[in-house]
Amino acid sequence: MSDHHFWLSDKQFARLQPLLPNKPRGVPRVDDRRVISGIIHVIRNGLMWKDAPPVYGPHKTLYNRFVRWSAAGVFDRIFAELASESTAADTVMIDATHLKAHRTAASCKKGAAPRRIGRTKGGLNSKLHAVCDGDGKPLILLLTEGQVSDYEGAKHIFEHLPPEATTLIADRGYDADWLRDALRDCDIAPCIPPRANRIEPVDYNADVYKRRNLVERMFGRLKDWRRISMRYDRCAHTFMSAICIAATIMFWL
């Protein structure tokens, strides 16, 4: 067994196994540990599915399992379940980053399911919005088109903030009165520097704001996985599953 192949450790798989779908009837499912390890290896190294190492079994098995579980939301639920166990959610950070889309991801028939790919000055890309806890671990992930603004993404995320949150740190892209008011209504203190063109001045805690680098570092670690830094998946749900898998492995297992 080559050292460069990824394998879930005993501890990781023991934590993951109770969260996997049950298969009460029919032919037993192909070894979960081997297949999931193969899926992770492909996503982390940016491989085509047909180039998956034979040690993980047939590449079609890896691909079919990934697509089927992605459509069923399995990887999203696993991430959400593990992230809900955070013990540092009193201070949270929100930010967004662009993920460039390869031309193969943009080639899709008209009328298909939403792809969450848009066009910006940097070309075709998607945008990943995220909320991290005080340890820099992702709690909430949202995929949108690349041209969606930061505060527009915050509208969709706001109602899912952890109930124990008391402080939210964000950059100037989130400087909006509605967001500040909504946070205060939920007893969450906003730590957001004002935009340069803001008419009414606002105060923020500069020392607390220094912690915002944690969310930037989280994005950097996610982009170390090649099928995330460059999007090859046509379907939004499969790309989102790849992101959830990376976040789960790096931060929650």
pLDDT at 114: 73
66-100 pLDDT tens trace:
999 999 999 999 999 999 999 999 999 999 999 99
pLDDT at 1: 43
- Cβ 165 vs Cβ 89: under 8 Å: yes
Average pLDDT, the chain: 91
pLDDT at 100: 94
Is pLDDT at 141 greater than 90 in this prediction?
yes
C-alpha–C-alpha distance, residues 140 and 133, integer Å: 9
What is the share, in percent, of the chain residues with pLDDT greater than 70? 94
Which amino acid, one-letter code, is at 73? Answer: G
Q: ∠ at Cα 201 (198, 203), nearest 5°?
A: 125
Q: Domain spans of the chain? A: 87-232
pLDDT at 105: 84
Phi-psi region of 125 (alpha: psi -120 to 50; beta: other; left: phi over 0): beta
3-53 pLDDT tens trace:
689 999 999 999 999 999 987 666 678 889 999 999 999 999 999 999 999
Q: What would the mean pLDDT of 111-134 be, rounded to a whole number?
A: 86
Is pLDDT at 108 greater than 90 in this prediction?
no
State the fold for domain 87-232: Nucleotidyltransferase; domain 5 (3.30.420)
**pTM for the whole thing?**
0.93
Range scoring the smallest mean pLDDT among 2-16, 77-91, 105-119, 142-156: 105-119
Range scoring the smallest mean pLDDT among 35-49, 149-163, 219-233: 149-163
Q: What would the mean pLDDT of 201-206 be, rounded to a whole number?
A: 89
Strand segments (E) across the chain: 91-101, 118-120, 123-132, 138-145, 167-169, 189-191, 230-231
- Residue 111 banded pLDDT, cuts 50, 70, 90: low
The four Cα atoms 175, 181, 183, 189 give a dihedral, to 10 degrees, of 80
Is pLDDT at 219 greater than 90 in this prediction?
yes
